[in-house]
Structure 1
Amino acid sequence: MDAQTKLEIEAAAFRRLRDHLMQDRPDVQNIDLMNLAGFCRNCLSRWYQEAANERGIDMDKAQGREAFYGMPYDDWRAANQTEASPEKQAAFDVAFKENVTDREG
């Protein structure tokens, strides 16, 4: 497989993952994704932003989230996010530290 074809297949797989999370399973909460898998939609939007920045494209956190979510993040939250239990919030604190904070340091 040549490099361009590989790149196109990887991009298609990313778009399918995004579509799955945004259209097929908007009911799955970010906190549940983070607690179970160590990443969530916000991580994907941050990785998108970081990839753009690495290529010299000026994109901030809000712009990265809007590009990934297809709408302003606050609109997504209002339509799809539910309150998390104290137990889920505590598990999230651990997962975020292990998967985000510790990797940044």
Structure 2
Amino acid sequence: MTEIDDATMQALEAAAFRRLRDHLQQRTDVQNIDLMNMAGFCRNCLSRWMHEAAAERGVALDKDAAKTLVYGMPYDAWKARNQAEATEGQKAAFAEAIKAHDLPERG
């Protein structure tokens, strides 16, 4: 691998994150529960990670603002427009995914 300096690596990682964020904003058909079941993370996880990264750096970014950045709109608006009720199959898969991905139970 070519040697990449820290600033360039950070810029590449930021660009990749923005592309993932934009992709998830476009793919509103992909439900968060399906992301959690398959990959062990979802849009809410990304927004939480942004909030935590901001807090670590002393940047004022509350949870709702972080969700707006990830979802491209306020979370409640996205949820009303795009989120379907989870099926029993999705819920059962989620219960198994928590074990497979070693995730904390969500309430």
Give TM-score, length-normalised by structure 2. 0.84
Q: 1:70 to 1:78 in 2, by over 3 A?
A: same
Give the Cα–Cα distance (whole angstroms) in 2 for the partners of residues 95 and 66 of structure 1: 26
Alignment partner of 1:13 is 2:1: no
Kindly, what percent of the aligned residue pairs are identical? 60
AA at the equivalent of 2:23: H
Give the Cα–Cα distance (whole angstroms) in 2 for the partners of residues 15 and 59 of structure 1: 17
Q: Give the drift of 1:92.
A: 1.9
Tell me the residue number matched to 2:30: 28
Two-structure CA RMSD over aligned residues (Å)? 1.7
After alignment, is 42-51 or 93-102 more displaced? 93-102
Of 53, 56, 80, the residue aligned with 1:54 is: 56
Of 80, 91, 95, the residue aligned with 1:93 is: 95
**Local SS of the residue matching 1:101:** coil
Give TM-score, length-normalised by structure 1. 0.85
Query: Does structure 2 retain, via aligned residues, the 8 Å contact 1:39–1:99?
Result: no
- The alignment covers a number of residue pairs equal to 101
Greater per-residue helix proportion = 1
Q: Unaligned regions of 5+ residues in structure 1, if any?
A: none
